[in-house]
Amino acid sequence: MTYVTTKDGVEIFFKDWGPKDAQPIVFHHGWPLSSDDWDTQMLFFLQHGYRVVAHDRRGHGRSSQVSEGHDIAHYAADAAAVAEHLDLRNAVHIGHSTGGGEVAAYVARYGIPQGRVAKAVLVSAIPPIMLKTERYPGGLPIEVFDGFRSELAANRAQFFRDVAAGPFYGFNREGAKMLSAVIDNWWRQGMMGSAKAHHDGIKAFSETDQTDDLKAMTVPTLVLHGDDDQIVPYRNSAVLQAEILPDPTLKIYEGFPHGMLTVNADTINPDLLAFIES
């Protein structure tokens, strides 16, 4: 079966490829995408002998389009349901963007307490919090996220097209090579999911303070970010993550965009492999 049912009755779709006795690498996708966003990395690590696992977050991809539970706490619990169902141990959990918040919550609240996690990777990730707060004054104002909600509600299809064709991959930068198939694939993944999940997810990825999750991530954690990330600015995310995490390794890539896992996979994948094998 490629689905696991959570305690609150949500069907979570997952992929599980490779030798079942190999070390597992678990991939957590960003908003509003699906596990398909990790295809390049999953094939890369499969060829290096690893077991690779990825799931579609609730309301995303092929998982149930439920009305409730679109928050970091449920995201982490759903990831735990997959890990427990497959009995994954000594696993490396890699999360991109909102998936990085999911990884932080899963590792801190389930993975380490259950003894299932060896290492973690946060890529272009949202923690500790994207929103400007008294604790983190360098964050983005709430009006930015209100704008996202308004655009999604008015015309989700156009909004998703504009994000993928513009800031997500840096295609709006002068001299950037536009990759139409990459844009189409981002749009396809987004439109597979639920508008309700995506709308609620904006609050989840912008307003959840995960400082305590980062503090509890006592496993070695690699932090990767591009300094031209127009979605999650690295100074209020990766730099702070490295200051809060107990055992961090920080690497900032000059000129890389938010979607660097796709458009810069030839650089990112070997760096991920080196960290996992270190």
Q: What is the pTM of this model?
A: 0.98
Sign of CA dihedral 227, 232, 235, 239: negative
Q: Give 97-132 pLDDT, tens digit per residue.
A: 999 999 999 999 999 999 999 999 999 999 999 999
| 67 CB-near residues (< 8 Å, 6+ apart) | 196
Q: Give 262-271 pLDDT, tens digit per residue.
A: 999 999 999 9
User: Residue 61's closest CA among 101, 99, 89, 24?
Assistant: 99
Beta bridge partners of 119: 92
Which residue among 36, 37, 56, 229 is the active-site one?
A: 229
Mean pLDDT of 243-255: 98
Task: Say what the pLDDT of residue 85 is.
Answer: 98
Mean pLDDT of 226-255: 98
User: Residue 196's closest CA among 66, 101, 72, 97?
Assistant: 66
39 catalytically annotated: no
Gyration radius from the chain CA atoms? 17
Instruction: Domain count for the chain, please give it.
Output: 1
With a pLDDT cut of 90, the percent of the chain lying above it is: 100
In angstroms, what CA-CA distances link 105 with 109, 158, 199, 213? 6, 31, 21, 6
Mean pLDDT of 178-200: 98
Task: Say what the pLDDT of residue 278 is.
Answer: 97
258 catalytically annotated: yes
Judge whether residue 191 has pLDDT over 90: yes
Judge whether residue 1 has pLDDT over 90: no
- Give the E-state strand segments of 148-220 in sequence order: none
198 — pLDDT class (breaks 50, 70, 90): very high
Mean pLDDT of 171-175: 96
34 catalytically annotated: no
What CATH number should be reported for the domain holding residue 121?
3.40.50.1820
Judge whether residue 14 has pLDDT over 70: yes
Domain with 49, as residue range(s), is: 3-277
Which residue among 34, 35, 63, 97 is the active-site one?
A: 97
